[in-house]
Amino acid sequence: MQNIQDEPPLANNHISVDCVVIGFDGEKLKALLVKRIGEEAGDIYNDMKLPGSLIYTDEDLDEAAQRVLCELTGVKSVNLIQFKAFGSKNRTSNPKDVRWLERATKLKVERIVTIAYMAMVKIDRTLSKSLEDYQACWVALEDIKPLAFDHNLIIKEALAYIRQFVEFNPSILFDLLPRKFTAARLRTLFELVYGKSIDVRNFHKKIALMEYVVPLEERQKGVAHRAARYYKFDRKLYNKVRR
């Protein structure tokens, strides 16, 4: 595992990247956060932030985002999408944030513009197995407390972007589901993304209009309630319908 403190002083101290990785575990949407641990002159802090850091002068922004995410969380090979720049003069108004970043990077920090990236992933054992080694963890969106810098705002803007993105490309949501899923599981995901309850009957009508959501003959087994039908997402049919 690499540590930003061990890197040579090649970073550009005015530009950073931050990665908003939103995961679905079948019940909740969660954000991938990293612990910011440090100690300076009696100022002890252990709080959370998005995986993000300054960029190096010899790398592109997309390269920087992938590097930073991997270095800070061990997560790699996710589809990061650049969605917004954050450049408020107040981003570094908190002296605690500035002290931590200057100590971590060994650079003088002034105003920083950050380029934000987002990704949506299915939380599974493979994706989460090494997070503890990197002081990273999944936190349910409703449980996120005040974060470093303007990272709460960045997450809020990422969710707004995701809602707009889903309107034009709903297939991103099906990447978060298992190969076969129930209508209830899909409805839960839609409710979490849009932040509101969806009527069950109306949602079943919505599914019926999605030609690429194919009902299966298989139903749930070993459940106390009425066994629900399984569905699958047909990507070939989706691509054909969306042309």
3-state SS, the chain, equals: CCCHHHCCCCEEEEEEEEEEEEEECCCCEEEEEEEEEEEECCEEEEEEECCEEEEECCCCHHHHHHHHHHHHHCCCCCCCEEEEEECCCCCCCCHHHHHHHHHHHCCCCCCCEEEEEEEEEECCHHHHCCHHHHCEEEEEHHHCCCCCCCHHHHHHHHHHHHHHHHHHCCHHHHCCCCCEEEHHHHHHHHHHHHCCCCCHHHHHHHHHHCCCEEEEEEECCCCCCCCCEEEEECHHHHHHHHC
The pLDDT profile of the chain, 243 residues, written as one tens digit per residue, is 445 455 545 567 889 999 999 999 989 999 999 998 765 555 555 689 999 999 988 899 999 999 999 999 999 889 999 999 999 999 988 888 888 888 887 788 888 999 999 999 999 877 777 788 888 999 999 999 999 999 999 999 999 999 999 988 999 999 999 999 999 999 999 999 999 999 999 999 999 999 999 999 998 887 767 788 999 999 999 999 887
* Fold of the domain built from segment(s) 172-242: Arc Repressor Mutant, subunit A (1.10.10)
Look at residue 176 in the predicted model and tell me its pLDDT: 93
What residue ranges do the domains of the chain occupy? 4-168, 172-242
- CATH number corresponding to 4-168: 3.90.79.10
> pTM (2 decimals)?
0.88
